[in-house]
């Protein structure tokens, strides 16, 4: 059987239209033309470190009321994260 167009006409050279351009999403409209990779990498490392610290319940829930105690808990959690990363490497 001969290939048909969407309108039903028979044609031997009909090919479907394929576009390579994808639709832009809403968050891409505000994207700058230049994006500093080094800044993004640094920010990503900071976010990953904070995420690792927040795995400790007392850090995530801020159970400590005073600044001194909270700082001490964050320091202990950071030490555990550091020891784990050195031990597994």
pLDDT per residue as tens digits for the range 29-78: 666 667 788 888 999 999 999 999 999 999 999 888 999 999 999 999 99
Cβ 41 vs Cβ 49: under 8 Å: no
Q: What is the pLDDT of residue 5?
A: 63
Q: Nearest Cα to 71, choosing from 45, 46, 44, 53? A: 53
Q: Which of 9-18, 56-65, 74-83 has the lowest mean pLDDT?
A: 9-18
Coil, strand or helix: which one is 28?
Answer: helix
Q: What share of the chain is helix, strand, coil (3-state, %, to 5)?
A: 50, 0, 45
Q: What is the pLDDT of residue 19?
A: 65
- Measured between alpha carbons, how far is 59 from 75 in angstroms, rounded to an integer? 10
Q: What is the pLDDT of residue 71?
A: 94
Length of the chain: 89
Q: Is the pLDDT of residue 8 over 90?
A: no
């Amino acid at each position: 059987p001969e290939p048909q167009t969407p309108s039903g006409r028979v044609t031997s050279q009909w090919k479907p239209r394929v576009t390579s351009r994808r639709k832009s999403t809403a968050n891409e409209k505000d994207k700058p033309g230049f994006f500093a990779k080094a800044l993004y990498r640094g920010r990503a490392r900071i976010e990953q470190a904070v995420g690792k610290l927040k795995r400790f319940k007392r850090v995530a829930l801020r159970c400590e009321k005073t600044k001194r105690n909270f700082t001490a808990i964050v320091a202990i959690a950071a030490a555990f994260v550091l020891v784990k990363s050195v031990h597994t490497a």
